[in-house]
Structure formats: structure tokens, C-alpha cells
Structure 1
Amino acid sequence: MEAQPFVIEHTMDAPADKVWEAITDKDEMKQWYFDLAEFKPEVGYKFEFTGGSEDKTYLHKCEVLEVERGAKLSHTWTYDGYSGYSIVSWLLTPYGKATRVKLIHTGLETFPKEKDFARESFSQGWNYIVGKSLPDFLEKAG
């Protein structure tokens, strides 16, 4: 069976430049996403953060791969001490005064066959982040 990327799309009630700031400014990110010590939307920039389930947290190690200011941010997504390599891409498309956000997470099948790395776990996390946490933050910041 061919590996399928996880994809979620959601229209945010905010202009693309506001959404871009939310996904690239570490101070804004910690309010809706993860608390990063540092982050720069620059190709080659390496960053890490801790996140996971109620049962266990994991050190995520990432590197920015692609940046198109206001339109696209892609970075690796790996876990310290675990096999697997994936890529997360945020694609922003202006849609009138709103922005269509498309998140694509490829490589999920490369992670260990454990509950926290299951596709359903990623689906729950990304649906919450893209479908609730980010739009709620943008509305509050709005």
C-alpha cells in the first residue's frame, strides 16, 4: 500500500500576512502551537520542541527546508531517539480577506509502529491545531 500524506485544509478568518506571522513568530507560536526557544523562517534553520501525548512527551527535532514568505513553510519533523523522517508543509493561499491554510505531513509511515506515532494520533493533533487552536488564536489576535 502506498503511503498517503496527512492533509488538512482550513480557511482562517485572517489575511495571509497575519497567518504567516502566527506560524513563524516564536512568541505567537507558543500561544497556539508549541513553545519554541527560538525559530527563524530560514532554510537550514534547526529548531526543537517538546510535545506528545498525556502519557509521554517527545523531543521533536526539525530543520527548515523551504520558505516562500507569506505562502509556504516546510520543515522536517523527527523525534530524538526514534527512527523515522517526515516533512510538514504549511501552504497559505489568500482567499479574499481570509486565508486558506493547507497542512501536508508526509512520511508518517516511517515512524515506529506505536500508538503515539499512529496516523490517527497525528490526525487528532493536526485537526486540533489547524482546525481549532490556530483559528481561535487568530480570532483573538484579530
Structure 2
Amino acid sequence: MGNNSLIVKREYNASIEKVWDAITNIEKMKSWYMPELKNFLPVVGFQTEFSMTHEGKVFPHIWKVTEVIPKEKISYEWRYKGYPGNSLVTFDLQSEGNKTNLTLTHSGLETFQPEKYPELDRKQFEEGWNSLLNDLLVKFLESNSD
């Protein structure tokens, strides 16, 4: 995949266990991340499909888990059925006392041919990940505090 990876870093006032649970537990993921998710398991080889509609267009997502290090790292392929390209999403977690640093890397975005499919442009992903990680996940973790 190309070197043009999208990287978002964020510190959360939550334990690494809590952040890990938020990014790997299906019910919690549906709350803040992808309400359309049908199923998800943090197990290498697990694959799931679900559809989202953006500006009237349906995008059938296919995710396949490629790496799992519990409470540290999860990666999955992210592609769209019927569209070119294959990307990789990686969540890296690091504990800092009672806080957690999360680094999200989304690589391979250029393989989606954004010149042909503007809905799959890097800017769309930047806006999406920033909203998810800097707003929705923050609110989710705060509202589900111990």
C-alpha cells in the first residue's frame, strides 16, 4: 500500500481496556462507530460485510481482520464490493497511566480511485475519522465511564 497513509492520533481519558473494548466489541462499536455493523470479532481471518449509504449511493463494505494483539493493536482490510481498491485500517493503543493513546492509520486510500469515485476521496476519510475519533468516541467513553 502507498505511503500516503492517513494518520489520526488521540489521547483518551480512559483505560486501555475500555478503549480496546470500544473498538472491538460489536455492541459498543455500533454505538459510536458503525451502527450498520451486523457482526464483528477481533479474530484474525474474521470477515464481515455491511452496507452504508452516503449521498444516496450504497457502499457495501467488506472488512477482514488481519492482525490482533489484544489491548494493543487490531488491523483489518477495508474494501467495497463492486469498487476497486483495498485499504488497511490499524488501531494502535498505548497506555499512559490511566489514559490511552490511540493512533489510527488508514493506508491504501489511493487504491479506491478517488478521481473516479469522489465519495472515496482521502478528504472524505479524513473528515470521517476525525469525527469518529475526536468527537463520537470521546463522547462514548465519557458517557460510559466507570
Range of TM-score over shorter length = over 0.9
Aligned residues: 141
* CA deviation profile, 1:47-88 (whole Å, cap 9, x unmatched): 122235333231110100000000000000000100001000
2:60 counterpart residue number:
59
Q: Which stretch of structure 1 is more off in the superposition, 30-39 or 47-56?
A: 47-56
Identical positions, percent: 37
5+ residue gaps, structure 2, are: none
Pick from 114, 118, 123 the counterpart of residue 115 of structure 1. Answer: 118
Moved more, 111-120 or 87-96: 111-120
Task: Give the letter aligned to residue 121 of structure 2.
Answer: A
Partner-residue secondary structure (3-state), 1:40? coil
**Structure 1 partner of 2:98:** 97
TM-score normalised by structure 2 residue count:
0.92
Partner residue, 1:44: 45
Q: Does residue 84 in structure 1 map to residue 120 in structure 2?
A: no
- Secondary structure, counterpart of 1:11 in structure 2: strand
Matches within 5 A, 1:63-78: 63-78=64-79
Which residue number corresponds to residue 14 of structure 1?
Answer: 14
Q: TM-score, normalised by structure 1?
A: 0.95
| Distance in 1 between residues matched to 2:39 and 2:13, nearest whole Å | 27
CA–CA separation in structure 1 for the residues paired with 2:52 and 2:14:
27
Structure 2 partner of 1:26: 26
Report the alpha carbon displacement of residue 124 of structure 1 after superposing the two structures with TM: 0.3
Whether the 8 Å contact between 1:34 and 1:49 is mirrored in structure 2 is: no
| Misfit runs of 4+, over 6 Å | none
Q: Contact between 1:73 and 1:89, CA under 8 Å: does it hold in 2?
A: yes
**What is the CA–CA distance in structure 1 between the aligned matches of 2:53 and 2:75, rounded to whole Å?**
20
Helix, strand or coil at the partner of 1:47: strand
Unaligned 5+ residue runs, structure 1? none
Q: Which residue of 1 aligns with 2:143?
A: 140
Deviation (angstroms), 1:135: 1.0
